């Protein structure tokens, strides 16, 4: 859902724990996108498809999820950060987070 200009919000509508995600569309070189807090790949309890839903909602807004160039993480709880590694593998996106979170992100399987 477009909020304003190039800013989009993806409000989690599932029943399991996940987070809201945001995208800044086309703001990077080669018209690539920034995604903030992509959430879970699959939610832990109910196995809801978190990343798949995010990708589908981006496509519904006319954004190519394969054009994600940067993932920004506000913090490294898995419900905010788990999908970052999958996005990195799928798109080659960089992942950015505060240095204080790097060890936690690595503990959950992220690469810094």
β-bridge partners, 22: 9, 36
- Residue 97's domain comprises 2-107
Structural domain contains residue 112: no
What is the count of structural domains for the chain? 1
Burial class of residue 7, CB neighbours in 10 A (0-12, 13-18, 19+)? middle
Q: What is the pLDDT of residues 41-73, one digit of tens each?
A: 999 999 999 999 999 999 999 999 999 999 999
Q: Give one DSSP letter per residue of 30-43, joined into a string.
A: GGEEEEE----SS-
Q: Residue 95: which CATH number?
A: 3.60.15.10
Structural domain contains residue 88: yes
- The pLDDT-based confidence of 102 (bands split at 50, 70, 90) is confident
Sheet holding 32-36, edge to edge: 2-4, 7-10, 21-28, 32-36, 68-72, 94-96
* Predicted TM-score (pTM) of this structure: 0.93
What is the spatial distance between Cα 34 and Cα 109, in angstroms, rounded to a whole number?
Answer: 21
């Amino acid at each position: 859902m477009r909020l304003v200009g190039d800013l989009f919000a993806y409000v989690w509508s599932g029943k399991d724990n996940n987070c809201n995600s945001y995208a800044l569309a086309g703001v990077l070189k080669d018209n690539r996108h920034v995604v903030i807090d992509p959430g879970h790949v699959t939610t832990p309890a109910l196995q809801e498809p978190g990343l798949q839903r995010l990708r589908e909602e981006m496509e519904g807004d006319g954004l190519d999820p394969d054009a994600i160039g940067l993932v920004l993480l506000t913090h490294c709880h898995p419900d905010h950060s788990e999908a970052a590694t999958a996005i990195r593998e799928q798109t080659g996106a960089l992942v950015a987070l505060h240095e204080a979170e790097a060890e936690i992100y690595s503990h959950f399987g992220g690469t810094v």
